[in-house]
Amino acid sequence: MTQYAYQLEVKADGRVQLPLELRQSLNLTNGSRLIVQVQDTGHATLVTAAALAADLRGCLQDDGPSIVEELLDDRRQEVTDEARA
């Protein structure tokens, strides 16, 4: 993973210009959305909205067994047990 550090200047109107190299590396185009995550320590992280959405999808993905399948398996076993009794 390649990491870069840039020193940016905040203009009087609050604007910050992102260097071309940074915009290209993040595939930013006109209208791209960025999220700034600010920590109590004074650190700020700039994340593309697309990258954040991908991270969130990864967090929400459940690789475990399906609860529906577990319930169906339990019910099938109950039916089998009842038929034998």
Q: How far apart are CA 76 and CA 52, in angstroms?
A: 41
pLDDT of residue 56: 78
CA distances from 27 to 16, 32, 60 (A): 17, 9, 25
pLDDT at 59 over 80: no
Global pTM reads: 0.57
How confident is the model over 3-44, as pLDDT tens digits? 889 999 999 999 999 999 999 988 999 999 999 999 999 999
